[in-house]
Structures are given as structure tokens and as C-alpha cells.
Amino acid sequence: VVVNPQDPDNIVGYWQQDRWSNGGARGNVAGVSFDGGATWQVLPVPGITDCSGGEWERASDPWLSFSPDGTLHQMSLVFDVDPPVDRPGGFGPNGMIVSKSEDGGLTWSTPILLVEEDNPRYLHDKNSLTADPYDPDYVYAVWDRLQITAGEAIDPENVRPGRGWAWGVRFGYGWKGPIYFARSTDGGETWERARKIYDTGGFDQTIGNQIVVLPGGTVLDFFAELLNVENSDQSGPGYNFYLALLRSEDKGRKWWPQGHPIRAVEMFSYGAVTPDLEMPVRDASILFDVAVDASNGNLYAVWQDIRFNGIEEVAFTMSTDGGFTWSAPIKINQTPGNANPLRAQAFLPSVEATDGTVGVTYYDFRNDDGSGELADHWFISCTANCGNPASWSSEIRLTDDSFDYLYAPYARGLFLGDYVGLATDGTDFPVSYTH
């Protein structure tokens, strides 16, 4: 969800409509309000999938961003489901598509395809888009490009089970997931050719790339870096997960550090389960959310972490020096303890900041009573000394009534989405969430 900086009553949300259990949706749909959220118009963004006048079977990963002049930009992952018949283990054709709206989300330009892939070894995935809040000419798009081995593209039986990438499989050494980046320098009229800005090497990957821009204009790309232990300084099975970042001082032309990125913090997460039946929840495990406060340049990050009490909870860290150093992670969700510790889980966090106030949302199961798998959505805030857990308070319950998580669509777990919308209009925090 985003708010128009030229008109705070213009709020736009974006979601997948008619989601398939094996990935993607029939289309990505915008909800547009011009009265601060009191009423809404629901509008499929045209030209993305075949049911909205486009050429692709499915869309996923909807993302929005307003430029400072009020131009609204969208980005979507598009794909066809079936790989070539001679390579049943590979991906179908896929790509990244963008368009823009000059009237607050009511009408949209002809989509532009940033990248297109028909080799079944590759999937462009987990995109985001950020319009530069200080310069309407610049818009940034970023994502990861997943690669499987040639053998896996031919024979899916070559995929070996184990704890690894987000799909829960372990791939061969041809597997990798570097970062791809594209930008517009003319307000989204045209886009430069997509290019790789960080390569993890074999058997490693990035996921969840998000760009934020500091008040001085420095562009930061945050991502989760998944390092196979054989490629890191750790030992034992599995992966190490890091919240990492790259910096650009010239609006995305060049990125540094060269080599390894800045690794802000290690993340420890395995995903939530429902408190009674222990059904898997497909949540934000190994993902994160980031925000920058335009008033002071402080950076904030939240993610799910088990380091505090052995269950999924909301971890928070902050940087006051442009991302070079980060505070020690703290638990900030206000979920009370419970005789059933799974009712104390907190997950799917989002963060936003404005004028010295930091807001965070999350789900938890505190009100579960065994009559279902009952969950609620919550908001908390901090106004000073946010690296101290005691500074987080003002918890607000956003759901009027608890909802049964078992009604969520099942797609490798009970799935409400990888992200929850949280924005700011400079004073308030509009929130969009599923329940």
C-alpha cells in the first residue's frame, strides 16, 4: 500500500487476485481511494496477464511506489506455468513488467517488459520497485534471478531434498541467485537494460531485494543473502541467512562494496506454525522489511527470528550511519507469554517511519482458544531510543475480531502473503492486510 505525496487522501493498495496454489495469480489488482480509505475502486492493472489484456498466464509479486510528483509506478512478476515439454523440471517463460499511472491509479500506461526469459534454467523472482522520493526522474527496480542446473531443468528427480532455499529443496552446485537491477531516468517513460549488480556464486542466492533512498540521495539495496555453509565460515548442514545491503552514491550506476556486501545482521528463522494443529504457515521467514526516516536518515529493519525464545518473533535493528553499522537485534512484538508457546509467536512484520516515529505491524496467535487457529493483526510504535525494547509501546489491535488462520489459502503452507502493506502519509500509518 502507498500514499500519494501530492495528495494524502489518494491511497492505493496492490494485491494478487485469484491466486493459484502452485504459484502466481490470474492478475494483479489495485484498490484506489481518493478519500483517505473511506471508499475504494477495485481495478485490474491492464496489460499484465491474459485476463487483463496482456500476454502472460499469471502474475505475482505486485509492488507500488509513488514518485514525488504523484506519478504511481507498478512492477509485477509475470510468467507462463509450463516449461518446455522436453525439460519438465525447469521454469516456464517469465519476466518483469512495469507501468505507470498519472491519475493516482485509475488508468495505466502500456506495460514495459524489463526482462524476459525463456530458458527453463532461469526464473526472475521476488521483485520490488522504488521511485526516488527526491527526484521524479529516477525509478529503481530490483529482483533476483534464480538459476538451476541443466540437469534439474531436464529431470526434476535430480532435485535433492533438504533444508535450503525458500521452496524447501536443495539444488546442485549450478544453483545461484544473483541480484538484477534496472532503472528509469525519465520518470518511467523508458528503462535501461537490466543488469547484474551482485553475484552470490554457486549454491548461494539472494531474495527479497528492496531499495530505499537516504535523504542525501544515496541508494541502498537490502536483501536476504542465503549462504550455503560450504561457502561460508560456518559449519554444519543448511544455510546462513543474512540481512545484507549494497550502496550506490550515483543513483544506481555503480554499487559497492565490491565483493561481499555489508552484512547487517544474521537472521534465524524457520517459519511459524499454527498453535493447535501445528500446520505450517507460509510467512515472511528469511524475508524482512526496511524503512528510512526522511527526517533524520535513520534506517530500520524488521524480520522474524527465533533467537529470543526459540519461536518466531519480531526482531528489530536500526542504523544511524547510513547502513554501515547496526544496533543489536531486539524483540519488539508485545505478544504476551502463554502456556502454549506457539500462541506467543509473532510473524509477517512490516515497518515504516516518518518524522521520528517508527511503526511496525505483525500477526500473532495470542487470542487463540482452541476453537480454530485464531490470529490477529497488531500495530506498535516507537518515538525515541528505538534500540531499547522498553521504548516500544502503544500497541493497537487492528482486527476487530480474531480470524481463523486455517481459512488462508494453502500454498506450501497457509498463505496470506510474503509482505503486509504499511505506509505513511507523514502523520498517520495506513495499513493493508489480509484476514
Site of grid cell 489518494: 10
Q: N- to C-terminal Cα distance for the chain?
A: 16
Indicate whether 232 pLDDT > 80. no
Q: How far apart are CA 204 and CA 238, in angstroms?
A: 11
Confidence (pLDDT) at 162: 31
Confidence (pLDDT) at 148: 85
Indicate whether 346 pLDDT > 70. yes
- Cis omega (within 30 of 0) on the bond before 257? yes
**Pairwise pLDDT comparison (202 vs 324), residue with the higher score:** 324
Cβ-contact 15, 28 below 8 angstroms:
yes
3-state secondary structure (DSSP) of residue 30 = strand
3-state secondary structure (DSSP) of residue 230 = helix
Confidence (pLDDT) at 90: 84
Which DSSP symbol is given to 152? H
What is the pairing mode between strands 262-267 and 281-282? Answer: unpaired
Q: How far apart are CA 207 and CA 177, in angstroms?
A: 8
**Pairwise pLDDT comparison (165 vs 36), residue with the higher score:** 36
Confidence (pLDDT) at 350: 98
User: Residue 206: CB partners within 8 Å, gap ≥ 6?
Assistant: 144, 177, 178, 179, 198, 200, 223, 224, 225, 226, 244
- What are the pLDDT digits (tens) for 95-142? 999 999 999 999 999 999 999 999 999 999 999 999 999 999 999 999
Confidence (pLDDT) at 394: 87
Q: What is the mean pLDDT of the chain?
A: 92
Give the pLDDT mean for 160-173.
Answer: 39
Q: What is the full DSSP assignment across 169-224?
A: EE--TT-EE-EEEEEESSTTSS-PPPEEEE---TTEEEEEEEEEE-TTS-EEEEEE
DSSP alpha helices (H): ranges in 113-175?
A: 150-154
Residue 1 grid cell: 500500500
Band the pLDDT of 231: cuts 50, 70, 90: low
Indicate whether 251 pLDDT > 90. yes
Where is average pLDDT lowest: 23-37, 49-63, 158-172, 380-394?
Answer: 158-172
Confidence (pLDDT) at 233: 54
Indicate whether 234 pLDDT > 80. no
Confidence (pLDDT) at 149: 74
The pLDDT > 70 percentage for the chain reads 91
Helix, strand, coil distribution of the chain in percent, nearest 5: 5, 45, 50
Q: How far apart are CA 201 and CA 302, in angstroms?
A: 27
In 329-425, the DSSP E strands lie at 330-331, 346-354, 357-364, 374-382, 393-397, 403-404, 414-415, 421-422
- What are the pLDDT digits (tens) for 351-379? 999 999 999 999 999 999 999 999 999 99
Confidence (pLDDT) at 153: 60
Beta bridge partners of 209: none
- What are the pLDDT digits (tens) for 73-93? 999 999 999 877 766 678 999
- What are the pLDDT digits (tens) for 376-431? 999 999 999 999 999 998 899 999 999 999 999 898 899 999 999 999 999 999 99
Q: How far apart are CA 81 and CA 57, in angstroms?
A: 7
The pLDDT > 90 percentage for the chain reads 84
Which DSSP symbol is given to 406? G
Site of grid cell 480454530: 372
Confidence (pLDDT) at 238: 63
Residue 170 grid cell: 536443495
pTM of the model: 0.94
Q: What is the full DSSP assignment across 239-293?
A: EEEEEEEEEESSTTSS-BSSSS-EEEEEE-----B-TTT--BEE--TT--EEEE-
String of b and e for 294-305 (b: at least 16 CB within 10 Å)? beebbbbbbbbb
Indicate whether 159 pLDDT > 90. no
In 270-372, the DSSP E strands lie at 281-282, 289-292, 299-305, 313-319, 330-331, 346-354, 357-364
What is the pairing mode between strands 122-131 and 139-147? Answer: antiparallel
Compute the Cα dihedral for 276, 280, 282, 283 and give only its sign.
positive
Q: How far apart are CA 199 and CA 260, in angstroms?
A: 9
Q: How far apart are CA 121 and CA 158, in angstroms?
A: 13
Beta bridge partners of 350: 361
Angstrom distances, CA of residue 231 to CA of 34, 79, 160, 164: 51, 31, 19, 14
Confidence (pLDDT) at 85: 73
Confidence (pLDDT) at 160: 36
The separation between CA 233 and the C-alpha centre of its own chain, rounded to angstroms, equals 27
Confidence (pLDDT) at 229: 57
Compute how many other C-beta atoms are within 10 angstroms of the C-beta atom of residue 82: 12
Compute how many other C-beta atoms are within 10 angstroms of the C-beta atom of residue 23: 15
Beta bridge partners of 130: 140
